Amino acid sequence: MEGKKNIVFGFLFLVITASLGPYMVVKLLPDVENASLAKQKVLSSLQLAVSSEFENQETLETMTAEEIAKANSEAILALNTNLNARLTVNTIKGGPHAHGNLEALLNIAVGLVLGLLTLSSLFKQILSWIFIVGTIMHSGMAFLAVFGFSWAGMLLGTGIGPVLILLGLFLMGIATFIGYKRQ
């Protein structure tokens, strides 16, 4: 049963990549919320200063150029901090979480279809391994790169994983055309 390893791999890989959802909620979203609150506080004080024509609210005196520049700088830094906090979450959502879940389900589907095809065992093995290696080289490397393994980012940059997945899809189309027999 050549597709069995894809089904097992798919379910195990789905557990790993789906676990990124709770990780993002528990570990990363509090940072995003804190950065967002800090941004709102700084921007509201800047807006208050602008609306009062840069008048210091405590002394009711006109703000100096240095105070205005400081208020602007604080606002820019707060915006940047907020964007950086969101970048980590968005990177995980769009990369290993979404692609990993999709490719895990794809491996499960491939495993099921391989069980229905009447093809040579060698061709089924090749198809099976193309999907497993393609998934590891694509979402697996993205998963590791997010957690700081720079070598994984370099392997991800080669583009081998997506090419293998596309090749596997193409070959599965041909294999299904050739090997799918109605009962």
Distance CA 117, CA 115 (A): 6
Residue 124 belongs to domain spanning: 4-179
Exposed / middle / buried, residue 183 (Cβ in 10 Å: 0-12, 13-18, 19+): exposed
**Which residues touch 156 (CB under 8 Å, ≥6 apart)?**
137, 138, 141, 142, 145
Q: Total domain count for the chain?
A: 1
Q: 34-69, pLDDT tens digit by residue? A: 666 666 666 666 666 656 665 555 555 676 667 667
Distance CA 156, CA 145 (A): 8
Contact of 137 with 163, CB cutoff 8 Å = no
Q: Which of 37-46, 55-64, 77-86, 91-100 has the lowest mean pLDDT?
A: 55-64
Distance CA 171, CA 175 (A): 6
